[in-house]
Amino acid sequence: MPPKKFEGKFGIPQSNSIDSELTSALYRLPDSISLPFIESMTEDIVSKVNKRLEEMYEESLLGNDKGIANVRIRRALSDEQRKILQLKLTRHFEDNGESAKIDVPVCVDALIESPRFLESMKGSMDKLFAMHEMKILQKIAELRRKRAEMSGDESLYNPYENLFETSSGKYCMARLLNMPHLEEESEYMDHCVGTSTSYVNKIKKGEVEILSFRDTSTNNPIATIEYDLKSKRLLQIKLMSDKLPKLSDSFSADLLEAIEKLETTTNDLGVPRVIEGSLAKDMKTLLSLQEKSKKQEVYTRDDLLFLYEISSPIQCFDSGRDPLIDELLRKRNRQEDIQLLCNCESQFIAFDFIDINEQTQVFCEDTGKKITFVDFRLEANQKKLPQLLELAQHIKESGSPARPDMSFEGGIVTIDISEEKLKDTKTVLQSYKEADSSSPSWVWDEWINAPYTKPKLPLETIILSYNKDTNTRESSDKIVSDMNRLGLRPATLEELIALGVIKPEFNKRSGSYLVELTKYSLDGGSYVPCVDWGGDERDLVGYEWGSRWIDRNRFVCVRK
């Protein structure tokens, strides 16, 4: 029982043990979990459960000719059940903190399935979900049994559920279903899929499928594959001892065929196993280039655009880089290839930004690993050329190490967006989140109550890189001083966020993060706002002003 001074802080009077337990639990919540968050989730779940209960009630009326409802079917949750749900949700977040996740549709299904769960304060949300998972697995097993009985096909009892064979008949794709299967796979393959309950728990939750690419003559695994049912991606493809597959492997053609053939199969819910991305297509294109190289056939411009990964990276097995890519690149004459890629003679190509002049048709940056080029013959880039010429002249005269990152649409990006989307802080926050479902961080919390200055649009932003000069990068003050010499200033926080609204793809494509190099007081310290990409989403974050900037940083600035 909490001390009396704690009671009533959240507007919950002490009337019974549920209220007291709830008040106490709310006080133990992590700071990142608020009361409105708990209340909103509770109301969301309650409203969806009540809707389902009402539907069940009406169905019971239709199920008998007297139109008398089954008195056992409750039409809505009681106030006490609602409080018990809120208490259990609070305890769930108290125990698990920010890492806790509640899938509302799953929660609703589980509550309908186990109505007695809300009759007592005992029992955790984890226990509810565990019971729900067990019942799902039981239903799946029953469906398999009935399917086998109806078809008379005993192979449906196959513990590995062989999905298909490749056209050569040498290999098959099987699905592993339980812990013994994973343990056996791990023991033979010498990797971790069956060394803990991590993967089998994901299987039970319906998050992933574990597939085994096997030799049909021996039934021995060749490759273990993790398929994510939500993102519809192949997360991992591992050979023995965690080695990655290569196109030079004898089974690679069959493995590619099996990956393509997966899309013709369905999971237990009857949903096709769609595979996002271009893995099979890219690997086949790479093999075709190998054949062209062997026959000494001339590569087309499209071939070179693919091989040099100009537009997008080549997707390889398990996110690795197939050795064949670099093997083919080593045989190429890069200078000749660049001329074909640019469709331009060498005298009209500038390879350093400060060498751009009025006669330049194409700017090309070749780092030895990646080629970036900007074609000034295109109308959109023709408009930027005078501005880039002026900047190149300033950089040349001042000896600045700065260079615009031309991979960001030629280094100059126009912010031109409806003023309605930027009218105030709240609107900008919503516009940013809607751009790619980004979620707010603590920086948003600090910024949301600060004075807001609406950017003057349209606005030309310049995205600078200092990645070739570690001396300048070691100090925020040195970078700002260098910008001043070039007649530039750091973009404001509002301008940076506006850029994030119109170009959410910048961080995902470049692997860089955009820095707004102005000192802000956040959370008692001096911070620099940045649009960063981490994990599966981008966000507005903060880095200390005194940070040493790395070569991933790109600095957003505008002309004074």
Question: What is the 3 state secondary structure string of 59-112?
Answer: HHHHCCCCCCCCCCCCCCCCHHHHHHHHHHHHHHHHHHHHHCCCCHHHHHHHHH
pLDDT tens for the 560 residues of the chain, in order: 333 333 333 333 344 578 878 877 777 777 778 787 888 889 889 988 888 888 777 766 665 554 444 444 567 888 889 889 998 888 888 877 666 778 787 888 888 888 888 888 888 888 888 777 766 666 655 555 555 555 555 444 445 678 899 999 999 999 998 888 888 898 899 888 888 888 888 888 889 999 999 999 998 999 999 999 988 999 999 999 889 999 999 999 999 999 999 999 988 888 899 998 899 999 999 999 999 999 999 999 999 999 999 888 899 988 788 999 999 999 999 989 999 999 999 899 999 999 999 999 999 988 888 888 899 999 888 888 999 999 999 999 999 999 999 988 899 999 988 888 888 888 888 888 888 776 666 677 777 777 888 888 899 999 999 988 889 988 899 999 999 999 999 999 889 989 988 888 887 766 678 898 988 876 677 888 888 876 567 778 888 887 788 888 899 999 98
Fold classification of 158-276 (topology level)? Aminopeptidase (3.40.630)
Proportion of the chain in helix, strand, coil states, percent, rounded to 5? 45, 15, 35
| Type of residue numbered 554 | R
Question: What gap in Å lies between CA 46 and CA 34, rounded to an integer?
Answer: 19
pTM over 0.85: no
Question: What gap in Å lies between CA 19 and CA 42, rounded to an integer?
Answer: 15
Listed by start position, the domains of the chain span 4-133, 158-276, 282-332, 390-559
By DSSP bridging, strand 349-350 and strand 362-366 are: parallel
